[in-house]
Chain A
């Protein structure tokens, strides 16, 4: 079976400094990978390369067998970074319609309206994102990332500072995505939540892949176990 995401001997240099050192990783379709590691270990760098936002200095990344910068690949990938990635000067509806158009959906308007309904923002669809509360903006950002039914979902620190309702929406969306057979990669500090959701874990330490494999019962019982076993401790 071909991997959903194949990372082959990826190096990324910032100047002469290697932020990623010879990282190779295969992620099977339908798995949910928690990408763990300390700050500055290279999690965000790796996720940016997977998302096609940054090019590896050496090595290659294939998503569903294609280059990560190919248009067809990006159509299937959903991305959410640290920041929410929505336009403050546009209304909730305009934000979703814009991304619907950019992702080449057939009916961007209808899709936007459906999603506003799902995340409970129909009543304020014409309100500017600037005026929304933080939780509302987070739900809007989640809708933006899932709008085009991605088959690969890349999240950088999804649980950081989400409010309760947004976490509920996120968990709902993630389980739907998994039911659809989508592959999920998320980097996070919130080890406990990540462990509960994930089927596999990958630990990055100082730019190297320290461990990759299925999430085991020990990890769930004691989230710090993985770090003690393979990492440099926190």
Chain B
């Protein structure tokens, strides 16, 4: 109970300071719009086949835009050595970690839920047929991004090349989760319900989330305390 309250305090703190400055949020949002624009040069935006790779396009946007938010997550704590003060307080590192994951999850979802309809408009894709399932899949994929991204943000926070290292480490780690999210999103946008083969990918995504959330909670202590 106390664990959850402490997580909540950390999450609320992160969200409050991000909403106040909107630095990462604005950067991430405008970056995702730029990628959506660039895709229109990469292939014929009016083509019918766009549905076949809509999942890939969307998750490319989500994953790249996420880097800007995730980079800030622990870097934010470096100013004035706030990270030390958090670690010296009674908050367990796991609670600190889950608080930060939750804050990042909310911020990433906010960017994605804006980028998704914009994608629909730009590329004339009707994504609303299975909106509930699509949001569920987006949430699962975003949790994976938030967990891996926050963990690696903690891992790289004291490195000189922090901003460079994070994407280099995060994207290869994310491959199974991104594959599953891409497959599921493409199926849902094409109008196929979550059934049959889709369940396999849903299981991959859930398993990925469970495994790496657990591993992160176990190892975040080692990462943050030398």
Question: Would A and B touch once assembled, by the CB under 8 A criterion?
Answer: yes
- Listed in ascending order, the chain A residues whose CB lies under 8 Å from chain B are 51-55, 69, 71-72, 74-75, 77, 79, 81-90, 94, 98-99, 101-104, 128, 144
- Listed in ascending order, the chain B residues whose CB lies under 8 Å from chain A are 2, 5-6, 9-10, 13, 16-17, 20-21, 79-82, 84-92, 225-226
Q: Which residue of B lies closest to A68 (CB)?
A: B88
Contacts of A53 in B (CB 8 A): 84, 87-88, 225
Contacts of B2 in A (CB 8 A): 104
Contact yes or no, A102 B81, CB < 8 A: no
Contact yes or no, B80 A102, CB < 8 A: no
Give the distance to chain A from B122, nearest Cβ to Cβ, in Å.
Answer: 33
Contact yes or no, B17 A99, CB < 8 A: no
Contacts of B17 in A (CB 8 A): 87, 89-90
Give the distance to chain A from B219, nearest Cβ to Cβ, in Å.
Answer: 15
Contacts of A88 in B (CB 8 A): 79-80
Once the chains are docked, how many angstroms separate the CA of A85 from the CA of B225?
17
Contact yes or no, A71 B90, CB < 8 A: yes
Give the distance to chain A from B221, nearest Cβ to Cβ, in Å.
Answer: 9
Contact yes or no, A102 B9, CB < 8 A: yes
Once the chains are docked, how many angstroms separate the CA of A52 from the CA of B91?
12
Contacts of B5 in A (CB 8 A): 101
Contacts of A52 in B (CB 8 A): 87-88, 225
Q: A83-B80, A88-B80 are in contact. Are A71 and B92 (CB under 8 A)?
A: yes
Contact yes or no, B90 A87, CB < 8 A: no
User: What total count of A-B pairs have CB within 8 Å?
Assistant: 77
Contacts of B82 in A (CB 8 A): 85-87
Q: Which residue of A lies closest to B93 (CB)?
A: A69
Contacts of A81 in B (CB 8 A): 81, 84-85
Q: Which of B81, B89, B226 contacts A74, CB < 8 Å?
A: B89
Contacts of A101 in B (CB 8 A): 5-6, 9
Of A54, A74, A81, A89, the most chain B CB neighbours within 10 A belong to: A89
Contacts of A103 in B (CB 8 A): 89-90
Give the distance to chain B from A206, nearest Cβ to Cβ, in Å.
Answer: 21
Once the chains are docked, how many angstroms separate the CA of A89 from the CA of B24?
13
Q: Which residue of B lies closest to A55 (CB)?
A: B225
Q: A87-B13, A88-B80, A104-B2 are in contact. Are A79 and B21 (CB under 8 A)?
A: no
Once the chains are docked, how many angstroms separate the CA of A83 from the CA of B87?
14
Once the chains are docked, how many angstroms separate the CA of A83 from the CA of B84?
10
Q: Which of B80, B89, B90, B92 contacts A86, CB < 8 Å?
A: B80
A-B pairs with beta carbons under 8 Å apart, 22 shown = A51-B84, A51-B88, A52-B225, A53-B87, A53-B225, A54-B225, A55-B225, A71-B92, A74-B89, A74-B90, A79-B84, A79-B88, A84-B81, A85-B82, A85-B84, A85-B85, A89-B20, A99-B85, A101-B6, A102-B9, A102-B10, A103-B90
Q: Which of A51, A83, A98, A104 contacts B90, CB < 8 Å?
A: A104
Once the chains are docked, how many angstroms separate the CA of A74 from the CA of B87?
9
Once the chains are docked, how many angstroms separate the CA of A72 from the CA of B90?
7
Once the chains are docked, how many angstroms separate the CA of A82 from the CA of B80?
9
Contacts of B21 in A (CB 8 A): 89
Once the chains are docked, how many angstroms separate the CA of A52 from the CA of B87?
8
Contacts of A85 in B (CB 8 A): 80-82, 84-85
Once the chains are docked, how many angstroms separate the CA of A90 from the CA of B10?
12
Contacts of A72 in B (CB 8 A): 90
Of B6, B13, B21, B91, the most chain A CB neighbours within 10 A belong to: B13
